[in-house]
Amino acid sequence: MAVGIGFGLLSMMYLLYTAFVKHAFLKIEASGEKAMTAAFVVTLTEGNVVYSGDDYVAVEYFYEWDGAYYRWISAHANAAYIVNTKVPVVYTLGMGIGSCFVVGFYRKYMLLLGIMGLILFFTGFILKSILILNLKRKETEKWQEEKL
């Protein structure tokens, strides 16, 4: 049950994170800015998918601290990311060039992780209920034997 709850919370936190970042990304698009920095630590910027194939995905994004454009390349294919799609990109102060978080890229995997967590939770709950019922039945039988 604990593993199921952990997977479910991880999946929920990722989905909340993507929802908040996409909301902030819409605000950036409306303002016309290239990037938005929060507390001089986290920067949210707009990325553009330059290649999307069966072997990898490449996203070009603006790096605010030196004003250049860099590419993030993932070794995983994602069919939802087609060429010339705008995607939100988040990076922090300590991250190097080319390392960032493309928001929503692993959404399908996190949804599957949440479903797996739900299945593990219910399996653990059912097994725990069966174990408790068996223990109560044995206690009742033991009590009735002592009474006789």
Say which range, 3-7, 132-136, 141-145, has the weakest mean pLDDT.
Answer: 141-145
Compute the distance between CA of residue 89 and CA of residue 72 in angstroms, rounded to an integer: 10
CA 110/CA 18 separation, integer angstroms = 11
User: For 107-136, what is the mean pLDDT?
Assistant: 90
Task: State mean pLDDT over 87-93.
Answer: 90
| Alpha carbon distance, N-terminus to C-terminus of the chain | 39
Q: Name the band, by pLDDT with cuts 50, 70 and 90, for residue 61.
A: very high
Q: Is the pTM of this model over 0.85?
A: no
- Please count the residues of the chain: 148
81-95: average pLDDT: 89
Does residue 110 surpass a pLDDT of 70? yes
**Statement: residue 49 has pLDDT above 90:** yes
In sequence order, the 6+-apart residues with CB closer than 8 A to the CB of 143 are none
Mean pLDDT over residues 38-43, rounded? 87
Amino acid of residue 106: Y
What is the average pLDDT value for the chain, to the nearest integer? 88
Band (pLDDT 50/70/90 cuts) for residue 84 is very high
Calculate what percentage of the chain has a pLDDT beyond 90: 49
Would you say residue 148 has pLDDT above 70?
no
Q: What is the pLDDT of residue 70?
A: 92
Amino acid, single-letter form, for residue 1: M
| Residue from 92, 103, 108 nearest 40 by CA | 92
